[in-house]
Chains A and B, each alone.
Chain A
Amino acid sequence: MKKADLKPVHMPSNSWTPIVLAIAFGVVGFFLVFEWFTLAIIASVGIVIGLVANTFDYNDGYHIPVDELEKEEREWRGDLK
């Protein structure tokens, strides 16, 4: 691969909403399986908070610049310097 082929890599920014949603959906699903509806409703608040926070999050992530990619690649392959 030539250096000219390197392009900036798009990365998502850190966010707390996906992990909160993943856990909340799992917990609500567990409660629903056993028909513990009160607990399921309480845990659903986590889903609502996660979804609402997510829709108001306008951070589209960032790009890793080519220079940093090159440096990283050379370090990993051991031919730095």
Chain B
Amino acid sequence: MTSHTTPLEYKSHQSQMNILGFWVFLGAEIVLFATLFASYFVLEHNTAGGPGGGADIFVLKDVLIETFLLLTSSFTSGLAIHAMRNHDKKGLLLWMIATLLLGAGFLFMEINEFLHFIHEGATIQTSGFTAGLFTLLGTHGAHVTFGIIWISLLLVQLVRRGITEKTSSKLFIASLYWHFLDVVWIFIFTFVYLKGMVM
């Protein structure tokens, strides 16, 4: 049921179904990442003569910068949706661009981190530990890359068409995706990096 207080992105039946469908997709994504986390936990002690665990290769300062970049980008995408609800096209556009730049900054840090791992002698083929690590981090990073391209294409449509029932539901769905990537990163930060540094 829609009323005059229903947000624009929920107005049409089609949009409601799209948003519901995307929640189902996020459920499937949770299964994907749960599988990768489980694989990592099983493999992390199999170091096969390579680096002996997270404490040997992780640089906590860089991980903190990555975390702050990604968490801030989630906050700015929230501000973007807030602007969208106020029919503020310029605010929506600017906060989404800020989100994309922070996301790109995160990716830059992560690629440098991967180069650092490789320099330390930890490639995806070194051991069970590094294979699990690169697969988990790489899948998350690939999702961020995909999200940046996706939101960029949506912003082109926003500039052309303005905030409509259709564009608002698309951007809302993209923001759900972005927050989801943030949640996955919280788990990576806690159970890969902090656990790797401490235990």
> From residue A73, how far is it (CB to closest CB) to chain B in Å?
24
Binding site secondary structure of chain B = helix
Chain A: interface secondary structure? Answer: loop
Residues in A whose Cβ lies below 8 Å from that of B154: 55
Q: Does residue B139 face the partner (Cβ distance < 8 Å to A)? A: no
Closest beta carbon of chain B to A28's beta carbon, Å: 14
Is A55 within 8 A of B14, CB to CB? no
Q: How far is the CA of A77 from the CA of B1 in the complex (A)?
A: 36
* B153 pairs with A58, CB closer than 8 A: no
Chain A residues closer than 8 Å to B14, beta-carbon distance: 60
Number of interface residues of A (CB under 8 A): 5
A52 at the interface (CB under 8 A from B): yes
Interface contact tally, CB-CB below 8 A: 11
Q: Does B89 contact A (CB under 8 A)?
A: no
Chain B interface residue count: which class?
Answer: under 10
Name the distance in Å between A17's Cβ and chain B's nearest Cβ.
Answer: 14
Give bound CA distance, A5 to B97, whole Å.
48
Judge if B85 is at the interface, Cβ distance under 8 Å.
no
Minimum Cβ distance to chain A for residue B198 (Å): 36
Query: Would B166 and A55 count as touching, CB distance under 8 A?
Result: no
Contacts of A55 in B (CB 8 A): 150, 153-154, 157, 170
Cα of A19 to Cα of B154 in the assembled complex, Å:
23
| Set of chain A residues within 8 Å of B153, measured between Cβ atoms | 52, 55-56
- What distance in Å separates the Cβ of B125 from its nearest Cβ neighbour in chain A? 12
**A56 neighbours in B (Cβ, 8 Å):** 153, 157
| A-contact 0/1 string along B153-170, CB 8 Å cutoff | 110010000000010001
**Assembled-state Cα–Cα distance A21/B14 (Å):** 22
Chain A residues with CB under 8 A of B170: 55
A window 23-72: CB within 8 A of B: 52, 55-56, 58, 60
What's the least CB distance linking A45 to chain B, in Å?
14
Residues of A within 8 A of B157 (CB): 55-56
A-B contact pairs, 11 of them (CB 8 A): A52-B153, A55-B150, A55-B153, A55-B154, A55-B157, A55-B170, A56-B153, A56-B157, A58-B166, A60-B14, A60-B166
Binding site for A on B (CB under 8 A): 14, 150, 153-154, 157, 166, 170
Please name 8 further chain A to chain B contacts, defined as beta carbons within 8 Å, in addition to the given A55-B153, A55-B157, A56-B153, sorted by A numbering. Answer: A52-B153, A55-B150, A55-B154, A55-B170, A56-B157, A58-B166, A60-B14, A60-B166
